[in-house]
Chains A and B, each alone.
Chain A
Amino acid sequence: MLHLVLFLVFGAICVAGAVNLLAQNHPISSALSLVVVMASLAVEYLLLGAEFVAAVQVIVYAGAVMVLFVFVIMLLNAGAEERTQGSRVALVLGIPGVLAGGLLVAWVLVQRTNTPEVPLGALPGFPKTIGALLFHQFLLPFEVTSILVLIAIMGAVVLASRPEPKMKVPEKES
């Protein structure tokens, strides 16, 4: 009972945040509603027992990635969005595509309503067990992600740094 109530409350907050992200015009409002979505998703993870995932979700997503977003919005001083008519491809292909995809997902879910019910904290993901799994079974992907992050850091630095004004080569006195 408690599980269902908590799920519904935080699920509602989650969906409200996601819809607010679409409804808001100003990027900062969108970013903050995305933070709300992420925080309530962390609660959903906790309900499923994934406590470490929940903590990392808050630290990494809400605390680092979204701060980066807010930071960039502040840095570029992005104002409210201007309305344009939008792209025609999105109208013609995108919205029917989303509707079709949504119908497909809904149909699959209705067909498979006999999914098992899980209690509160179904599968406890303690940091210890997750760490053991990460460093034994998933060692190679783990190391690969470290290289990925390194490349991403270098790419970000190269892309965001201002292109240097060309140095004038002092001509040799002859």
Chain B
Amino acid sequence: MVPISYYLILSGILFACGVIGFLIKRNIITIFMSIELMLNGVNLSFVAFAAQWHHLSGQVFVFFVMVVAAAEASVGLAIIIAVFRTRETLNIDQVNLLKL
């Protein structure tokens, strides 16, 4: 028997790691991965709440989050490739102009 709050704490830790990575990393791809980490933390809390309230909707929502994450990853990585093609860098500090 494990209290649900343990799972919530784990998901909180993952989410916090994602936020910190988003803030301190300088590589666009790593920043993007931090976003995925945050989404994963949220997914864990969805599943934990589904177990708490005995309702499967929580688990179904995880699928929607995954679909959004997959769509986001494909578009985001395409943007990264486009940025790399024009600026030839992945460092977020050097991508500081709105125009190409």
Contact = CB atoms under 8 A, between A and B. Distances in A.
Interface of A: 3-4, 7, 11, 14-15, 18-19, 21-22, 27, 30-31, 34, 37-38, 41, 44-45, 47-50, 52-53, 56-57, 60-61, 64-66, 68-69, 72-73, 75-76, 78, 81-84, 86-87, 90, 94-95, 98, 101-102, 105-106, 109, 112-113, 115-119, 122-123, 125, 129-130, 133-134, 137-138, 141, 145, 148-149, 151-153, 155-160, 162
A82 B91 contact: yes
Nearest to A30: B30
Interface secondary structure of A, over-half rule = helix
A168 to B, nearest CB: 23
A69 B73 contact: yes
Interface in B31-64: 32-34, 36-37, 40, 43-44, 47-48, 50-52, 54-57, 59-60, 62-64
A82 B17 CA distance: 20
A13 to B, nearest CB: 11
B33 to A, nearest CB: 5
28 contacts: A18-B18, A30-B33, A47-B2, A50-B51, A50-B59, A56-B66, A57-B66, A60-B66, A61-B40, A76-B81, A81-B30, A86-B26, A109-B5, A115-B3, A115-B4, A116-B4, A116-B52, A117-B2, A118-B4, A118-B51, A119-B1, A125-B50, A129-B56, A138-B64, A145-B68, A149-B67, A159-B81, A160-B78
